[in-house]
Amino acid sequence: MKTASSSSGKRPRTLAGTTSKSVDAARKQTLAHYESALRLMQEGKYEKAHAAFNQMLAASPADLAERIRMYINACLQQISKGKKTFATDEERYDYAVSLLNEGHYEDAKTHFKRIIAENESADYAFYGLAVLASMTGDAQHCLEHLTEAIRLNAKNRIQARADSDFQDMADDPRFTELLYPEM
């Protein structure tokens, strides 16, 4: 007895007859989107995965809809775990520094930028971005952020002189000129 999968070149049969090529193509596309959303979840990109699952839910076949709903709920749980609330920008800054120290550079960057979005004169957030850029080898952004931090608060110049997080920048003449302009 031949099954639908073993017959060569024939479309699967249903109770109503054979399925159309357009239905097969649509199902393949839906499965490709489903697999893509699952990969996003596996990579920890829960917000993107949530959006992808939500987008395909309305047009998904019934056999996938329940699984999609389950993954949507799993994404929402993971998203809510990652949400932190902070009473002050300083608390957010402390959290960003802890992320930076643990090597979670993109997450730290997001928090530093959020502080700046809410308070453009937050010199400490620019300083944090400068440290992050130094640690990741991005000299140009390090100098830009440190320049802004010093412009907003001149004490950052003195702090940067003794900060070991800038050790990779020590040989850059632009860095030396920024920290020791009087020379």
Q: For the chain, what is the mean pLDDT? A: 85
Residues 59 and 120 placed together within one structural domain of the fold: no
Q: Residue 147 and residue 70: Cα distance in Å, rounded?
A: 48
pLDDT at 6 over 60: no
**If DSSP codes are grouped into helix, strand and coil, which group holds residue 18?**
strand
Beta bridge partners of residue 14, listed in sequence order: 17
Question: How many C-beta atoms surround the C-beta of residue 166 within 10 A?
Answer: 21
Mean pLDDT confidence for 127-155: 96
Strands (E), 17-172: 17-18
Q: Looking at residue 14, what is its pLDDT?
A: 52
More confident residue, 117 or 43: 117
Q: Looking at residue 2, what is its pLDDT?
A: 47
Q: Supply 50's token pair.
A: 């949530």
Residues 22 and 63 placed together within one structural domain of the fold: yes
Domain that residue 44 falls in: 15-82
Q: Looking at residue 128, what is its pLDDT?
A: 97
More confident residue, 155 or 74: 155
pLDDT tens column, 95-106:
899 989 989 899
- Residue 9 domain flag: no
Mean pLDDT confidence for 138-154: 97
- Residue 47 domain flag: yes
pLDDT at 10 over 90: no
Beta bridge partners of residue 18, listed in sequence order: 13
Label residue 5 by pLDDT band (50, 70, 90): very low
Listed residues 54, 82, 110: the one ending a domain: 82
Mean pLDDT confidence for 13-27: 61
As for how many domains the chain has, the answer is 2
